[in-house]
A and B are shown apart, each in its own frame.
Chain A
């Protein structure tokens, strides 16, 4: 079946540092999505990517759809305490709405 590897599993950084996380897959996909989940809440969509090579920003967040269509990364610049949470990547490959989610990257930011 499709395998989606998200790394790192967790990060503990100092406020103001930049953060990078990525997802890789064994197959080619048409869509990459990045979500953030805070404690007690559901995942919230951050960025959606639909084309290989696409680079999209949302404030201090930047995500790219890899050229090979098998990977994606998310960068957070100048982290702040409210960036704390679990970040999930998800991809879709078929003509359906089915998404496969990564295991998540837990981010902690030290003030």
Chain B
């Protein structure tokens, strides 16, 4: 139990579908992150929220839309995805968005685009 819970664990969707990934952290952290993990590639940072405000957006296509309603919850809304978007999507949290705080990860959502 890492304190970061992601749902669903697996998701298969067509390119025209709309779905959302959910992340919840029980650690009292103030920063939350979305990463994309593809085979043979390093973890790619997608979005960062600090105290519910987006502070980092790494040139992610607009078909990925994050939402952070409070410091414990983070969503990633998906629409009209492409096959190359198939990957493991990891959520993480840290105490704060300062001074290289260790990040704690959830177990990810395995996304497959048909």
Contact = CB atoms under 8 A, between A and B. Distances in A.
A99 B103 contact: yes
A97 interface: yes
Interface stretch (B14-22, B60-68, B74-82, B93-101): B93-101
Contacts of B98: 95-97
A35 to B, nearest CB: 8
Interface residues on B, range: 20 to 34
Interface stretch (A56-64, A65-73, A100-108): A100-108
Contacts of A102: 42
Q: How large is the interface on A (under 10, 10 to 19, 20 to 34, 35 or more residues)?
A: 20 to 34
Contact of A101 (B42, B96, B97, B100): B42
- The main secondary structure of chain A at its interface with chain B is loop
A40 B2 CA distance: 14
A103 B90 contact: no
Interface of B: 2, 4, 6, 31, 33, 40-43, 45, 48, 50, 55-56, 90, 92, 94, 96-108
5 contacts: A44-B105, A48-B102, A50-B100, A92-B100, A103-B41
Interface of A: 4, 30-31, 33, 35, 40-45, 48, 50, 88, 91-104
